[in-house]
Chain A
Amino acid sequence: MIHTFIGDLGHLFVILSFVSALVAAFSYFKASSLEDFAHQKQWNTNGRIAFGIHTISVLGIVFCLFSIIYNHYFEYHYAWSHSSTKLPTHYMISCFWEGQEGSFLLWLFWHSILGIVLMFTSRQWENKVMTIVSLVQAFLASMILGVVIPLVNFKIGSTPFILLRDALDAPIFTMQPNFIPQDGNGLNPLLQNYWMVIHPPVLFLGFATTLVPFAFCIAGLWEGKYKEWIKPTLPWALFSAAILGLGILMGGYWAYETLNFGGYWNWDPVENAVYVPWIILVSSIHAMIIYSNSKAALKTSIILVISTFILILYSTFLTRSGVLGNASVHSFTDLGLSGQLLVYLLFFTIVAIIFAWYRWKSIPTTDKEVSTYSREFWVFIGITILCLMGFQVILPTSIPVYNTFLGWIGIISNIAPPADQIGFYTKFQLWFAIGIALLSGTAQFFWWKKMDKTTLVNSLKTPVILTLLIAAIIIALTGISNPAYMLLMICSIYSIVANGSILIKTLKVNPKLSGGSIAHIGVALMLIGILASSGYSKVVSLNNTGLLISKEADDEFNNENLLLFLNEPRTMAGYDITYRGDFIEDREHGIFINKNDFHTTKYEYEVVAKTNISKEGFEYYQEYDTIEIVPENTYYKIEYLDSDSNLFTLYPRAQVNEAMGLLASPDIKRNLGKDLYTHVSSIPNPDEEKEWTEMEETEIAVNGNFFVNDYVATLTNMERIERVEGVNLSAEDVAVKATIKVQGETRDYFIQPIFVIKDGLVGRIPDEIPDLGLKITVLNIHPEKGTIILGYSTTQKSWIVMKALEKPLINVLWIGTLILMLGFTVAIFRRYSEFKRA
């Protein structure tokens, strides 16, 4: 039966949320423009009620969509395409943001919460700020509206509550309109990761919070209070920068743990599209701080706050309109919303420009020339560098946009993004980072007192000497030789030393003011972490033989991958690396079970133990136990022996996914100094039939030995069995199972072929040991002699191709991130208490 009610209810909530957002925007607009206090109050109440209804409807949409996913109503397209019956509940939350509609919903959700908070905290700003917020909500709600305007036949938005039969043009629905699929397509396996449960909400909260500074700024321009908006904005902007930064880095951390491109940042357009707004947001905070201290940079603050929000809208347009096409690996699929997204982007761009233009002349400025020895001057240089950093990234990221727009006016453009993206971006970002590190150290000294040449030299003397000392030691120890890297290292150390000395001073005077120096120490640590882990990432599996690949090409190619056969160690870059077999995760205990130790059954999720399975002395399963497994992932056990004879094991995993091919995820050995990162790059194709050698035969009695593929094998047992998987045995039928022990290089294996006589016909069920590339069949049984005839054939041993990288000091990046967040938190409290006092 099709559950139409829940979907209709959801759709009703969508429409209600759209209409109530419009009503709220109109009411707040009225309240903003009326002079008369009583009327103003009345419209304000209307606005509050409408926004309250809006928030309730957004929660209603979330509830309806979640119950569709949770109850597995596969008659709905959203549940069918993003979930499945086997999906654990905690990943059902991730289904929300796999689809584009759900991620709009997440954005709407955060805006509603923020709207409610603003309603009660923004005091005299409420009416104007909430007008902007409600208007943005109306635009966002329209994205999931899914309403077709009659006559012009124009569809607005894409609803998550569409039924499968309406979304797909499948023939089955003409015959059976009420057909409901048994199971859904499931969640993208790469998203089945705990980081993917928390990273998108954090990132979207970051996106959502950029609206608050924008709304305050526009409200300020509207009201003609050109400076007063900064006080309430500053804590919000800091909060936004903290959350957005955290969201971005969580994404990087997820990529590092789950994807296999060997790092946390790839300069992919989708990544760039959030990096740029964040950089501009950080620069806007600096501009607002300059303003709070010296009444300068007001216009700069206005431009940067507006730019941040517009860039967020632009990044939404980039990633969701389909304009990126081939340029990105992970943009959303096109839902036909590009027009709507463009209108959303242009509307707020134009509104912001009109307000700023109209008020430009009346915005107060300072005419006095800034001194080179003032903090404003140096922070302003810092803001400039941040903006240039953003500009350098957004310019090439927008290449697909130029091509599209040129296409619209009839010019065919074939510009492609730079071929070596990492090299291209690093070339500039590295030097900008050097500038940031230098300034973030130096500008802090100006913060504290009036400076002239002598005091500056005096206060810089100690930190500079200390820096050079530390840097000399580090450079000598690590052997950094690239001049640019060396400079970045020195400048980052300088920033840590300088900010560290400021931090010690502030902690004595007033710990509340320490946010800035803590945050800058965090940034400097991040720079060191990035420099070391990216600049000095070493391929452990590098094959330096330099093969000449063909007569046509005369260059030699070094391989960065390594072919490993089972149990055959290879020595590489100071490690002995051995591949030890394929493992599957057990669902109950989370232990890894060797694929040779169980029989598969007709249920993908269940296997039967071939032998007792124990780990570290504890016996988890006995022979014949049924084990519930997680069948998707195979874990490849790789043993490392380093030069100090430390033995450790990594389990990189891979799954062969029908829709997406080989999905390999790394396993990482985390050390304080460096991470060792390993992933498989190629495995034997599971669909391909193995090539077996011609079968050889041997006649053997119980406890007799024989040689097979150079391994000693023993027939340990013969027994009659009552049940055979997939065969119905009657009373007259006979089934015999042979158990043969094979002594491999590292352990014993058991192989259990079955011989069946059913209805007078002979059936033979062979068994395999994938590790040894061995298959044995019971060919015949001679009860009179007490012997059996075994047939055995061999195939290529298991192999994998893997890649291993060393990532030095990557933990410094993660630690730096946490310190940066701490700095933001301290600063938020300080600026919020300033706002409350005001």
Chain B
Amino acid sequence: MKKSHILAIGIIAVAVTIMISTAGDTSSYVTFQEAKNIAENNSSTKVHVVGTLRKDDHGQVQDIHPSPDKLSFSFVMLDENEMAQEVYYNEPMPADFQRSEQVVIIGSYNKDLFVADKILLKCPSKYQEEEIKAS
């Protein structure tokens, strides 16, 4: 066998390993119910859940509880099926958190609590302002 063939086989082997590993490490967008099922089967898998914050009739965000030392906080999020779930985040509350239109949390269930490792916020569009101040 020529060296170039061995090399080619080597490259293919590494490329396949990369592909399998990528497929294994990808996360998925799920609902809270699915996330719970995943946690019951294999507790360590991290998932993405997309949802919104719970608001009252006046549009005020409800159920946000910063810890007394302000270093972490928990909140209630509604997923796409309107299922409510308490989420804990071990970082100070992002300043624009309450104004976010959409929240993506990445993490997993720890018993009945969803522990987020990362929060992505989708805020009202930064540059496409609809309002003009007529002053």
Contact = CB atoms under 8 A, between A and B. Distances in A.
A660 B126 contact: yes
A388 B13 CA distance: 11
B41 interface: no
Interface of B: 2-4, 7, 11, 14-15, 18-19, 21-22, 25-30, 46-48, 50, 67, 69-72, 74, 86, 88, 90-97, 99, 104, 106-107, 110-113, 115, 117-118, 120, 122-135
Given A179-B134, A181-B133, A685-B95, A419 B117 contact: yes
A661 B96 contact: yes
A757 interface: no
Contact of B99 (A185, A415, A427, A661): A661
Contact of B110 (A380, A396, A554, A559): A554
Nearest to A396: B22
A624 interface: no
Contact of B11 (A369, A388, A553): A388
A648 to B, nearest CB: 25
Nearest to A381: B7
Interface of A: 81, 98, 164, 168, 170, 172, 179, 181-182, 185, 188, 326, 329, 333, 369-370, 372, 377, 380-381, 384, 388, 391-392, 395-396, 399, 414-420, 424, 427-428, 543, 549-550, 552-555, 557, 559-563, 656, 659-662, 681-683, 685, 799, 801
B106 to A, nearest CB: 5
A455 to B, nearest CB: 20
Contact of B120 (A329, A555, A560, A656): A329
A179 B134 CA distance: 9
Nearest to A165: B132
A388 B3 contact: no
B115 A172 contact: no
A682 B67 CA distance: 13
B69 A168 contact: no
15 contacts: A188-B126, A388-B11, A416-B29, A418-B22, A419-B27, A419-B118, A428-B18, A560-B90, A560-B91, A561-B92, A563-B70, A659-B123, A660-B123, A661-B99, A662-B96
Contacts of A560: 90-91
B18 A391 contact: yes
Nearest to A325: B122
Contacts, number: 157
A587 B131 CA distance: 30
A559 B72 contact: yes
Contacts of A399: 26
Contacts of A392: 18, 22
A416 B28 contact: yes
A660 B110 contact: no
B92 to A, nearest CB: 4
A423 to B, nearest CB: 9
B123 to A, nearest CB: 7
A179 B86 CA distance: 48
B22 A395 contact: yes
Contact of B130 (A170, A427, A799): A170
Contact of A326 (B30, B122, B127): B122
Contacts of B132: 164, 168, 170, 172, 181
Contacts of A369: 2-4
A179 B25 CA distance: 54
Nearest to A661: B96
Given A399-B26, A555-B110, A185 B96 contact: no
Given A181-B133, A553-B115, A395 B95 contact: no
A166 to B, nearest CB: 14
Contacts of A380: 7
Contacts of A372: 3
B19 A395 contact: yes
A554 B111 contact: yes
B130 A168 contact: yes
